[in-house]
Amino acid sequence: MKESEFTQIFAALEGVEDELEKVGSDQEKRQDCYEHLLELRKRMDRCVELWLRFEEKINEIQEKYDFFLPDELPDSFLQAFVKVLPDKEQKNMPPDRGVGESLLLQSDHEASIRSFRRGLGFLELAMMDEAIREFETVINQEPDILLAHLCLGVAYAERGMADEAMRELRLVQALTGDPQTNAIVHNALGNVYAHREQYDLALEEFSKVIELDSEFAVAKFNLGAINYNLKDYESSVLAFEEVKINFPRDWEVYFYLGKGYKKLGDEQQALANLLKASYLAPQEPHVAFELGVSYDTLGETRKALEYYYRAKRLHQLAEQEKDRS
């Protein structure tokens, strides 16, 4: 794909965003925007497929003719790792934050470097099975590279492979004294416990993240979600209100705030936050359903029925899209 085509895609993406700001509550026009975004995503998915085919072919050529292409790697592999963390983490990690020498990838093994680079790419694309395969290759070739163990542990955690994630993350935890690295480890361990529904243990891990780095907003988000699951709705709301300051356009924050305020009996605040979530994510059926429940509670039956119907329609569209893919 030519660079001009990428430029066109991103220009179209900005155009859709501008259109969403203009259409207000016009659901027909919002649906048009939603379908346009799906079309753009499919075009970008095609780019990912081409990239994967390119990498596979490059590897075949290198192995067949016995040579290696050099990779342009960042000065610090932790910086490269930071780039592939979710936005909530990335925005809270300054670019000049240091890292212990043990984390840096110091190897002359070109195959390991290639695998590590591909692993980062797969991690960024949320392709966890492929990322795991590449990081396992790195560790088999260079077992002393601690950052590869960290990346592998995070990938395992995201994939729901709890025992494997624990093994890698505990190893990193034992071998590094870097506070930021430990914060990442505790956050990943918290995710493992959350997936297991061991919410008390998850709460401990996310609390340790905040102790190490009070600006680690993704841990605050996780604390809000865990406290909600533990039915500590007041603490949940407080956590999400803090997160909202850093991420004012994250629909999930408003969604959880709406549910939390509803549990606390504040129907007006619940409605206000759910309406904001719906504005930011008009395609989410769960948001529409919760709005129906809120309007139902407030006695506004007509609006409740409207949002129940919208939730049903959005769910049907999502299922149809899943079947097509």
The per-residue pLDDT for 4 is 63
Longest dimension (CA), the chain: 73
Q: Residue 9 pLDDT > 90, yes or no?
A: no
pLDDT of 286 over the 90 cut: yes
User: Is the fold of 68-247 the same as that of 258-325?
Assistant: yes
Percent of the chain beyond pLDDT 90?
38
Question: pLDDT at position 325, please?
Answer: 62
Report pLDDT digits (tens) over 109-159. Answer: 677 788 888 888 888 788 899 999 999 999 998 888 888 899 999 999 888
CA angle 16, 92, 208 (to 5 degrees): 130
Confidence band for 84, pLDDT divided at 50, 70 and 90: very low
For the cut 60, the answer to whether the pLDDT of residue 2 exceeds it is: no
Question: Stretch 301-311: mean pLDDT, rounded?
Answer: 90
Q: Is 26 exposed, middle or buried (0-12, 13-18, 19+ CB in 10 A)?
A: exposed
How far apart CA 256 and CA 266 sit, in angstroms, is: 13
- pTM of the complete model: 0.64
Q: Which residues contact 166 (CB under 8 A, 6 or more apart)?
A: 189, 192
Which residue in the block uniquely carries the two structure tokens 């492979």? 161
Confidence (pLDDT) at 141: 87
Q: Which residue do the tokens 């790195």 mark?
A: 138
DSSP 3-state assignment of 250? coil
pLDDT band at residue 104 under the 50/70/90 scheme = very low
For residue 251, pLDDT beyond 90: yes
Angle at 27 between CA 25 and CA 33, to 5 degrees: 105
3-class secondary-structure state, position 232 = coil
CATH superfamily of domain region 68-247:
Tetratricopeptide repeat domain (1.25.40.10)
Under 8 Å between Cβ of 114 and 134: no
What ranges do the domains of the chain cover? 1-64, 68-247, 258-325
Find where tokens 């129906």 sit: 292
How many alpha carbons lie under 13 Å from residue 126 in its C-beta half-sphere?
A: 4
Q: What is the pLDDT of residue 167?
A: 92
Is the predicted pLDDT of residue 101 greater than 70, yes or no?
Answer: no
Q: Which CATH class is domain 258-325?
A: mainly alpha
Residues 132, 119: Cα–Cα separation, whole Å: 7
Rounded CA separation 143/141 (Å): 6
Sequence-distant (6+) residues with CB within 8 A of 149 are 139, 168, 171, 172
Q: Would you place residue 319 in the very low, low, confident or very high pLDDT band (cuts 50, 70, 90)?
A: confident
Which residues have C-beta within 8 Å of that of residue 164, sequence separation ≥ 6? Answer: 156
pLDDT tens, 68-81?
555 444 444 444 34
